[in-house]
Amino acid sequence: MSPAIRRLLVLGLLLPAACAPTRDPNQAGFFSGIANIVGGAYAEDTATLQAEAEASEQRVAALQAENQRLTREMGELDAEERRLRERQRALNERLMEQERTLQELRGRRDADQAALDRLSAQLQALEAEQQRLGAGRAAEVDPAELERLEAENQELERALDQMLQSLPG
């Protein structure tokens, strides 16, 4: 085979390789680029990229909305935690006042010691429950349990007040 024929053969093999179809405009040659324009490949790719961009924007908007919702929810939970902590603090203050009242009653001779012992045991049980409740995080505090403790505390307050009123001045 003559060198001229070999060159034509090599060029014949390289030409299609140089014009191999690719959709990437950065790599497409002249003929491939023309084929992509005429065949609509670039328009399809542009439409696909546009759809992906719009979908990404929608995902971002959805994530931003979710972030705002979670931020609001976190604020509400923080407020609820503060309310629960305040209720616990108020309950602690009432329990300490009841402890002082019990000590005052113990000092009086005419006080019913059996009733005082019963009230003292009730107060100690309430204090233990309050300490257990206060040891956890407010998010773990069951509002129903706190309400129960507050109700038991009010019952103890009434019993102490009745005992104080029943004693001679």
Q: Is residue 166's pLDDT more than 90?
A: no
Check if the beta carbon of residue 113 is closer than 8 Å to that of residue 167.
Answer: no
Q: Classify 100 as helix, strand or coil.
A: helix
Q: How far apart are CA 141 and CA 89, in angstroms?
A: 13
Residue that the structure tokens 């000590």 belong to: 103
Confidence of residue 37 (pLDDT cuts 50, 70, 90): confident
Taking only the tens place, the pLDDT of each residue in 132-157 is 877 766 556 778 888 888 888 888 88
Q: Is residue 58's pLDDT more than 70?
A: yes
- As given in the structure block, the two tokens for residue 24 are 């990437």
Tell me the whole-structure pTM to 2 decimals: 0.57
CA-closest candidate to residue 153, choices 93, 91, 97? 91
Taking only the tens place, the pLDDT of each residue in 108-127 is 777 677 887 888 888 888 88
**Mean of the per-residue pLDDT values of the chain:** 81
Check if the beta carbon of residue 130 is closer than 8 Å to that of residue 92.
Answer: yes
